[in-house]
Structure 1
Amino acid sequence: MTAGRPLPQPTLASAEFWRSGADGVLRISHCDDCGRRFHPPLPLCPSCRGRSVALKPVSGRAVVVGFTVTHQSWLPSFPPPYVVAVVALAEDEGARLTTNIVGCEPDRVSVGMRVRVRFERTDDAENAEGDSGAGADAVYLPLFEPDPDADTPGPLPEPRQVRTAPRPLVSRHKYEDRVALTGVGQSRVGRRLMVDPLSLTVDACLAAVADAGLTLDEIDGLSTYPGPTPDGMSEGGITALTEALQLRPTWVNGAREVPGQIGSITAGMLAVAAGLCRHVLCFRTVWESSHNALVRAGRWPAATGRATGMFEWRSPFGAVSAAQWIGCNASHYMHRYGVGREALAAIAVTERAGAARNPEALYRDPLTLDDYYAARTVTTPFGLYDCDVPCDGAVAVVVSAVETAADRPRPPVLVEAAGTAILERLSWDQDTLGHVPQSLGPSAHLWTRTGLTPADVDVALLYDGFTFNALSWMEGLGFCGPGEVTDFLAGGRTIALDGDLPLNPHGGQLSAGRLHGYGFVREAMLQLRGEAHGRQVDGARTAVVTAGGGVPSGALLLRTP
């Protein structure tokens, strides 16, 4: 047993899986109707939707289809370096597990490596001492080690094509045509501001309402992401802001499961287009930097307890950061297309050059390629400059009925199209491997709702929680083909301020700070209004914005009138 390894919380659906390795045999959900194996357990087969599903034994042999070597200490029980991997079962490449590769040095692990299962029993600490039986509280974690009988690499799943899958328009009347973005505001942004997050939200919202030439009494809708949530990712949601500003909205939304963080803006657009509201105030607040400082100082309790939700399948293996999950996909991409980190480096260095022109950016010092490659490794293939910057700040956007736009003091920004379709499994490891999950579906959907094409885009505001996110969006949106972005970027010339596709001219989340999607909408609005002083893209009339570091995600195509 490994002391301190986080335990999963078995559910009514998963308890049998976590117990089933007691005899050293891996058991995976199997559909008797079509023969498909799948993971994690579901009540229906994901292929045929049959109900004849049950755990069945498999050989325990698998192939590494993505991995990351973690060098940063996220959990005391996982001293680095250690390997987090996604493995595909030999019997069905569509059935995959996030796990650890053990029994070899981390630098020996590779995509295509054949492995076999071995189980590790874990218990609650109070039940572990002197207990050598199976125990009701014991779970059996499937870890994988090199397969001694294998002498050649294993097969890899082929990419699944989703570009032709979006449904056609159901109506020629687009809801996007009925709205305009009329106001935008931002609070102070900084590292460890130690400011009440609701105060930051109020600052951004008041600025956005004033920017739109409205009063608070004219705001009849509120929409935010993700609503009340811990860990420095919210100011308290709709309830907190309504109380602070004493608003009387007709409609509100504080949902987490929307198409990316900007899905809250899409929701506001739908409310306006449906005639529920005329002016929806959309907002997003983060205070991660201060929250993390409070936890480290012992002034805020750290999260405890067994791993639940999606973390049930990740935390027991030390896979607690999106850097690790996305790192697995990045390793698959680099192996499949035979490329290194050159594209990632170009994105990081170019965005830092943009931040140098932005007085609001958190990191403005020059960043060279030598600096990029010399930086400490966080989790392969990501170094320090591949990762965005946690910060404190708030952004607010006003969505108005398009017929009111002429009465606003600033030029409106129109919404040409929104991409929201889910065409891939909403999973970090069970479907898309070569890109960030959910960068392909919304991208394909976006272009079905407009006559414009990627060639019409003047500036790209692409989510960059990690450099690989921006890479995935560029290929997903069709600016280049799969595996082609390294050549497309031309060492960064293509995405420079004067390039063919300027990328995140404000510095993005990599250098300006992680405002979690909304910062990209603000920058797009400033660019299209000609107000991005010092970093203005000449003649910008069309901007694409994406948000979501994984599942689900969304995209907006914005334009001038």
Structure 2
Amino acid sequence: MRPLPKLTPENEFFWTAGADGTLRFQYCGSCDRYLHPPGVVCSGCGGTPEVREVSGRATVVGVTVNYQPWLPDMEVPYVIGLVAIEEDPLVRLTTLIMDAEPDDVVIGLPVSVRFEQHKDVWLPVFAPTGEPVIEAAEYPESAPAPVRSMPTVEKFESKVAITGVGLSEVGRRLGRDPMGLAVDACRAAVADAGLAMDDIDGLSTYPGGAAKDGGHSEGGIYPLADALGIAPTWFCGTGETPGQSGAVVNAMLAVASGLCRHVLCFRTVWETTSIAWGNRQNTGVGGGSRISGEMEWRLPYGAMSAGNWIALMASHYFHRYGATREQLGWIPVTERAGAAHNPVAIYQEPMTIDDYLDARMITTPFGLFDCDVPCDGSTALVVSAVDCAYDGPHRPVLVEAVGTQMRERMSWDQGTLLHEPMVDGPSAHLWSRTDLKPSDVDVALLYDGFSFNALSWLEGLGFCGKGEGASFVEGGSRIARDGEIPLNPHGGQLSAGRLHGYGFLHEAVTQLRGHGGGRQVDGAEVVVVSTGGGHPGGAFLFVRG
């Protein structure tokens, strides 16, 4: 049942190195650096790397104790570590830490490699060397690429507006076909914009039809177009975009270019029903299948969830800055207070910080309430040309700026240790495309697949300094609806449900129209939205039309 990597000419040297007990990595002599994961060329100089033996010694730089029973052959709890190799601390492995009590595995622990054989694969795992913990170690970070300046004075954002939003029924295990949810949301969004289906000349979605079996899609563009009777001029459905809402950026570009006038964007999730109907959460994992690509470097170690991967960074953040779980807990506690005023939120009952701390652990430092809530639901919005945006029944929402730049490696374990990856790039790019500043923002709708995601976005977007996020949210007053920067007043994904980023877009329009009811932020005129992070992220700045 253990998912194992598919052996290829590029990776076989790594996954079979345990046959003689020696860890090996690619090395570029021209750059004098080790490379991982292996590739066909050196990303620094374009040269051909060689394979070199290393000592097998490393240092733990991130750790999480996993309590979730992901795989039947791995008894919980088990310790997942992120280790930096002695020869080059920028090269790291997600792995298992063996022969140690979970509480004894800490940042700075010296470890050495050993190998577990599974069929024709030798998994490198690590165990303590018995040497003292390195208390004051320095952990290097790769410098991000510079923020690119705007290539033209004219912004495409000024040519588009959000004119309509729609939301289907939202709930746990609704037992409905996801296409029905998508149709409901799309019809509602088109009607909300004061349009007819014949007015829609574009369709855009994330991630497309291939993700349906895992509960992450309704089936994609083609069946949705057929269900709605739409013949679009342009359409796009893909997963490789700046965050889940990259599909909305694609729609804006299509409208700004003059290709379309009104693009319908939609996103459907139905995880809870999909699982109840017997679909696999991780299609192609386990059951004797082999995995390739980025997942091969994590799944064999039982690091099956983004919660595990992000927890490794959260542990390093806690170590570096002295943050605590109680401080982090104020994000879900404050969001729950907002969800009480959101009639479609999954969880609306009050929650205290003690409730948060008493909840069962999932993967340290994350407990149950640090994790977003899987649900069924679909969200849709209409992106229109700004010159017709005022023809509808509602005040339009204008687009001030987008943040889409990739400034760091697309990796969960080879990049930063200080925050969730793919947060700083979109954040810095967003502010480079506007004269507005973080102090001008009235509402922050920040992605919270896990509580630490939102903390990373708060810092990345400049609402507080690096390493100050935990103290910034402590007590909840600064992120409350009437606080310094209201955070996810609708409950976010931690309480309202995992609509996978699009719930934040819906809430942005709701707030800027002043339709938030008991959760409405007074005088909301500027709203920042982030989606994703890690894989990858994107950001928007919306203003009241």
TM-score normalised per structure 2: 0.97
Query: 1:336-485 alignment to 2 at 5 Å?
Result: 336-485=320-469
Q: Is the 8 A contact 1:343 1:485 kept in 2?
A: no
2:122 aligned to 134, 137, 140, which one? 140
The answer to whether structure 1 residue 260 and structure 2 residue 256 are counterparts is no
1:66 aligned to 62, 67, 90, which one? 62
Could you say what the CA RMSD is over the residues aligned between the two structures, in angstroms? 1.7
Q: Is the 8 A contact 2:446 2:529 kept in 1?
A: yes
1:155 aligns with 137
Provide Cα deviations, 1:141-164, integer angstroms capped at 9, x if missing partner: 1000001345645734234554x8
Provide Cα deviations, 1:14-40, integer angstroms capped at 9, x if missing partner: 122111221100001100211110211
Provide Cα deviations, 1:210-250, integer angstroms capped at 9, x if missing partner: 00011111100000000011300000100110111121001
Q: Is the 8 A contact 2:60 2:107 kept in 1?
A: yes
SS at match of 1:253: strand
The answer to whether structure 1 residue 39 and structure 2 residue 23 are counterparts is no
Structure-2 separation of matches of 1:22 and 1:297: 33
Question: What residue ranges of structure 1 are gaps of 5+ in the alignment?
Answer: 124-137
Q: Which amino acid aligns with 1:257?
A: E
Structure-2 separation of matches of 1:475 and 1:169: 23
Query: 1:25-424 alignment to 2 at 5 Å?
Result: 25-46=22-43, 48-123=44-119, 138-150=120-132, 152-153=134-135, 155-160=137-142, 162=144, 165-228=146-209, 229=211, 230-295=213-278, 304=287, 305-424=289-408
The answer to whether structure 1 residue 10 and structure 2 residue 7 are counterparts is yes
Structure-2 separation of matches of 1:297 and 1:97: 27
Q: Is the 8 A contact 1:63 1:154 kept in 2?
A: no
Q: Which amino acid aligns with 1:421?
A: Q
Structure-2 separation of matches of 1:32 and 1:52: 9
Counterparts in 2 of 1:301 and 1:226: CA distance versus 1, 3 Å = closer
Structure-2 separation of matches of 1:184 and 1:281: 9
1:541 aligned to 485, 500, 525, which one? 525
Structure-2 separation of matches of 1:490 and 1:381: 16
Q: Which amino acid aligns with 2:140?
A: E
Higher mean displacement: 17-26 or 175-184: 17-26
| 1:292 Cα deviation from its structure 2 partner | 1.4
Structure-2 separation of matches of 1:149 and 1:190: 51
Q: Which amino acid aligns with 1:158?
A: P
Q: Is the 8 A contact 1:176 1:416 kept in 2?
A: yes
Higher mean displacement: 301-310 or 188-197: 301-310
Q: Which amino acid aligns with 1:195?
A: R
The answer to whether structure 1 residue 560 and structure 2 residue 544 are counterparts is yes
| 1:490 Cα deviation from its structure 2 partner | 4.1
Question: What residue ranges of structure 2 are gaps of 5+ in the alignment?
Answer: none
Structure-2 separation of matches of 1:38 and 1:265: 35
Structure-1 separation of matches of 2:232 and 2:218: 18
TM-score normalised per structure 1: 0.94
Query: 1:455-534 alignment to 2 at 5 Å?
Result: 455-534=439-518
| 1:341 Cα deviation from its structure 2 partner | 1.4
Q: Percent identity?
A: 57
